[in-house]
Amino acid sequence: MFSTCRSLQTGLILLALGACSKEPTTTQSAPLTPAIAPTNEVAANAPKLSGRINVAGIEATYEATFQEQERLRIAEQRADSRRGEYELRGARLLHYSGSGLSSADAIELRFSLQGVLELAKSGSGGTVSQEEISAIRERAQLLRSHALAQKTTRDHY
């Protein structure tokens, strides 16, 4: 009887080890999605508002789209037919693409969540001056503040 019990235990151990040592079968899983949704995707029900502003002698109209996770996208149309698009998260400018403020050159800027400049590209192939980068950051903050004030006023009434 002891040998039968011992054989049974050994068999169960070997069976358990055999089950653990099998190669895992590959199953097709859904593709991974990024933790932060791409900014190109705008929810259909995302609140939007339009505004008009004249700051530092540059008159413009804009459309602000308020997205999840404190994201704000502002599409600006300046009176001189130049355009700019700003993407912000909270108070942080993450991306700008459009015309420069001091020139008509196309500019693209990308910043990290910590505010570090990761990309500064000019359409003419030249460098983007620190003054231009600073001016775009300041304009983004002014547009953001204006849009938030407009939204707060609208939501209040």
Residue pLDDT tens, the chain, 157 long: 445 555 556 655 655 555 554 444 444 444 444 444 444 455 566 789 999 999 778 899 999 999 988 899 999 999 888 999 999 999 999 999 999 988 889 999 999 999 999 999 998 888 899 999 999 999 999 999 999 999 888 776 6
Task: Indicate whether this model's pTM tops 0.75.
Answer: no
Domain segments of the chain: what residues?
48-156
pLDDT for residue 28 = 46
Q: Secondary structure of the chain in the HEC alphabet?
A: CHHHHHHHHHHHHHHHHHHHCCCCCCCCCCCCCCCCCCCCCCCCCCCEEEEEEEECCEEEEEEEEECCCCEEEEEEEECCCCEEEEEEECCEEEEEEEECCCCCCEEEEEECCCCCEEEEEECCCCCCCHHHHHHHHHHHHHHHHHHHHHHHHHHHC
